């Protein structure tokens, strides 16, 4: 079964093989492995290691987003969130649940956020201390421009928390060039093509120190994680880590380097998305986002208007043909999602388009365009 979902993604056999060993995470032989992973991640994010720390957290991406909010946005701080789609909604919700105040900035779900709209919102409310931006909005496939938006935020003297979960490893990130970004968050299992179970925050040390003690949670306290690293060294974890997942991530990072690093990975994903966009259009389906606004991470396609259409039926028909796509809707009008990331190539998408064509025919769907 080939996973064409925007996480967890299809992985290479070498990555999965790295899981099949017992590991004692406190043994000295694990420490260099883990420390090496962190320095490679710092390079990919273009961190300046005199100013930034690579902080790990057991668990999924939302845990790391919550840790960043708790550790870097003090109680009483206000977070402006451009409402780009369901991942922005999640950031807004988890921030509110920590007792912080969220200001929602209305935004398009099919076009990048306008930096000017962020500038206006910041000018209108001097109490907003941070902007929470989703780099690649995985619900729609639109990629936003953190460099342009961060420039505006820096100009206004505020800070950025960046959800780079479905971006890191493929889309560029330059932490050193953007000192206003306090944190960028990602996981092992999206564009890095590792296994789910560990997430990371690239964080500014001065911001961590400034807000030390504000997390209101020991588990999610990035400053505490940072202090542990300083005290016990960068090869040690605070609580029991997913050590096999970390070993698999080391292999995944070696494969990323062998492929040519972030630019090469981006080029492969762009080729995947182009093959998918063209193919879906060719068989009479309509992508949700215009070609200009379409990002290389995930592609949404309008549900056909035909009465014979059902998403569970389509997902099952595709599974029978060897492909797994996302099985829920998360856009205002129904659209199905196909991931373009993972250990997959344009050839896989050519085969997928033929499978989708055959599945629609078998389901008796004649009107493939949306209502
Ligand atoms: C996948 C994803 C997350 C985190 O998802 P988890 O299921 O918590 O790992 C957060 N933000 C974005 C934009 C994502 O694509």
**Rounded Cα–Cα distance for residues 324 and 348 (Å):** 12
- Of ligand 1's atoms, which has the minimum distance to the CA of residue 196? 9
Assigned token pair, 103: 């200001």
Residue 2, number of CB atoms within 10 A of its CB: 18
Residues 223 and 97 occupy one common structural domain: yes
Residues 277 and 140 occupy one common structural domain: no
Q: How far apart, in Å, are the Cα atoms of 53 and each of 42, 92, 257?
A: 8, 25, 21
Residues 145 and 275 occupy one common structural domain: no
Q: How far apart, in Å, are the Cα atoms of 51 and each of 18, 71, 117, 255?
A: 32, 16, 30, 28
266 CA to centre of ligand 1 in angstroms: 19
- Of ligand 1's atoms, which has the minimum distance to the CA of residue 166? 15
- The answer to the question of residue 268 being in a domain is yes
- The answer to the question of residue 28 being in a domain is yes
- Examine the pLDDT at 199 and tell me if it is beyond 90: yes
User: Ligand 1 pocket: which of 3, 8, 62, 86 to mutate (most atoms <8 Å of CB)?
Assistant: 62
User: Ligand 1 pocket: which of 9, 59, 61, 169 to mutate (most atoms <8 Å of CB)?
Assistant: 61
Residues 244 and 277 occupy one common structural domain: no
Residues 150 and 248 occupy one common structural domain: yes
- The answer to the question of residue 273 being in a domain is yes
**Rounded Cα–Cα distance for residues 86 and 102 (Å):** 15
Alpha helices in the chain (DSSP H): 13-17, 31-44, 61-72, 86-97, 115-124, 146-155, 205-210, 222-232, 243-259, 261-282, 311-320, 346-362
166 lines ligand 1 (CB under 6 A): yes
**Rounded Cα–Cα distance for residues 268 and 270 (Å):** 5
Mean pLDDT of the 256-271 span? 98
- The answer to the question of residue 7 being in a domain is no
Q: pLDDT tens digits for 74-84?
A: 998 999 999 99
* Nearest-CA residue for atom 5 of ligand 1: 61
Q: How far apart, in Å, are the Cα atoms of 229 and each of 111, 131, 223, 358?
A: 40, 28, 10, 54
In Å, the largest CA–CA distance within the chain is 65
Residues 265 and 330 occupy one common structural domain: yes
Residues 190 and 268 occupy one common structural domain: no
Residues 152 and 104 occupy one common structural domain: yes
* Final residue belonging to a domain, choices 232, 257, 282: 257
**Rounded Cα–Cα distance for residues 158 and 122 (Å):** 8
Confidence bin at 233 (pLDDT 50/70/90): confident
Q: pLDDT tens digits for 316-348?
A: 999 999 999 999 999 999 999 999 999 999 999
Confidence bin at 1 (pLDDT 50/70/90): very high
Range of the domain at 96: 13-257
Confidence bin at 100 (pLDDT 50/70/90): very high
Q: What is the CATH number of the domain that holds 226?
A: 3.40.640.10
- Of ligand 1's atoms, which has the minimum distance to the CA of residue 136? 13
Residues 46 and 121 occupy one common structural domain: yes
How many folded domains does the chain comprise?
A: 2
* Nearest-CA residue for atom 12 of ligand 1: 165
Residues 286 and 216 occupy one common structural domain: no
Residues 178 and 160 occupy one common structural domain: yes
CB 274 within 8 A of CB 299: no
220 CA to centre of ligand 1 in angstroms: 17
- The answer to the question of residue 6 being in a domain is no
**Rounded Cα–Cα distance for residues 44 and 54 (Å):** 11
Per-residue pLDDT at 178: 98
Residues 190 and 41 occupy one common structural domain: yes
* Nearest-CA residue for atom 4 of ligand 1: 61
In terms of DSSP bridges, do strands 335-339 and 298-302 run parallel, antiparallel, or are they unpaired? Answer: antiparallel
């Amino acid at each position: 079964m080939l996973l064409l979902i925007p996480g967890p993604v299809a992985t290479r056999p070498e990555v999965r093989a790295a899981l099949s060993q017992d590991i004692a995470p406190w043994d000295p032989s694990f420490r260099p492995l883990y420390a090496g992973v962190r320095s490679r991640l710092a390079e990919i994010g273009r961190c300046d290691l005199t100013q930034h720390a690579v902080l790990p957290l057991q668990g999924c991406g939302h845990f790391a987003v919550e840790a960043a909010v708790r550790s870097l946005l003090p109680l009483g701080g206000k977070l402006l969130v451009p409402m780009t789609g369901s991942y922005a909604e999640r950031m807004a919700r988890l921030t509110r649940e920590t007792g912080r105040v969220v200001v929602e900035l209305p935004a398009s779900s099919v076009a990048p956020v306008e930096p000017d709209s962020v500038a206006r919102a910041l000018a209108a409310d001097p109490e907003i201390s941070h902007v929470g931006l989703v780099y690649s909005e995985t619900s729609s496939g639109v990629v936003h421009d953190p460099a342009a938006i961060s420039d505006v935020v820096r100009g206004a003297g505020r800070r950025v928390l960046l959800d780079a979960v479905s971006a890191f490893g493929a889309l560029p990130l330059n932490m050193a060039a953007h000192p206003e970004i306090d944190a960028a968050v990602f996981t092992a299992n999206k564009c890095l093509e590792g296994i789910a179970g560990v997430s990371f925050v690239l964080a500014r040390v001065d911001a961590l120190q400034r807000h030390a003690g504000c997390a209101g949670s020991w588990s999610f306290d990035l400053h505490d994680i940072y202090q542990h690293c300083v005290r016990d060294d960068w090869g040690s974890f605070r609580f029991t880590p997913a050590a096999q997942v970390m070993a698999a991530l080391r292999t995944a990072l070696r494969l990323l380097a062998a492929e040519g690093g972030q630019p090469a990975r981006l080029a492969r994903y762009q080729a995947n998305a182009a093959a998918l966009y063209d193919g879906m259009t060719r068989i009479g389906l309509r992508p949700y986002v215009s070609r200009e606004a379409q990002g290389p991470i995930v592609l949404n396609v309008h549900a056909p208007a035909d009465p014979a259409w059902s998403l569970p039926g389509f997902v099952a028909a595709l599974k029978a043909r060897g492909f797994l796509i996302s099985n829920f809707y998360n856009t205002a009008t129904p659209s199905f999602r196909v991931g373009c990331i993972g250990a997959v190539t344009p050839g896989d998408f050519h085969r997928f388009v033929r499978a989708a064509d055959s599945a629609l025919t078998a389901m008796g769907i004649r009107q493939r365009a949306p209502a």
